[in-house]
Amino acid sequence: MIPETLKTSLEARVASAITPREAAVDVMKELQTHYGWLTDEAVGEAAVLLGLSPLQVEELATFYEMIYRRPVGKKVIHVCDSISCWCADCDTIIQYLKDKLGVGLGGTTADGVFTLIPCCCMGMCGDSPAMSVGGVPYGKLTPELVDKILEAERNNG
């Protein structure tokens, strides 16, 4: 169950939208922040707030790759695999991340800190290969830079 303050804030966001569906991503992201991922309970709460059916919220949630319908680590690593990053050898970075973290794509480290997810285009083509960790973008990746980033991100809680 969401706290009353969050519920009030989300109701205000929905009320300020031209249509409730316009606020759907904001509502889902806030509920995801609260729960750590978009739980079934959160889908139901979003549906009530938005005046949509749970199925409609589910359809929206599964469309957006940054809405998580299953548990994820404390920090999600999105590694770009679009054409520009691919041309800059993102496959090497992806394999390095998989080996370093001991997980496959979509997996979460045993300590629950990182989840590794591929994404299509981060808008950082000039700095490819690129990734983000917990929403912080990083570009011009090398295995050595990845090591520094992971260490810093792990130490920043």
Phi and psi, residue 8, nearest 5°? -65, -45
Q: Match 């979460």 to its residue by tokens.
A: 108
Contact 14, 20 (CB under 8 A): yes
What does the pLDDT look like over 103-133, one tens digit per residue? 999 999 999 999 999 998 899 999 999 999 9
- The pLDDT assigned to 156 comes to 85
Q: What is the SS3 assignment for 155?
A: helix
What does the pLDDT look like over 46-65, one tens digit per residue? 999 999 999 999 999 999 88
Rounded mean pLDDT, 12-32: 95
Q: Is the pLDDT of residue 157 over 70?
A: no
Average pLDDT, whole number, for the chain?
A: 95
User: What is the secondary structure of 33-97 as a DSSP string?
Assistant: HHHSS--HHHHHHHHHHHT--HHHHHHHHHHSTTS-SS---SEEEEEE-SHHHHHTTHHHHHHHH
Confidence of residue 1 (pLDDT cuts 50, 70, 90): confident
Q: Is omega for the bond preceding 129 within 30 degrees of 0, making it cis?
A: yes
Rounded mean pLDDT, 57-80: 94
This prediction's pTM: 0.84
Rounded mean pLDDT, 90-94: 96
Rounded mean pLDDT, 130-150: 96
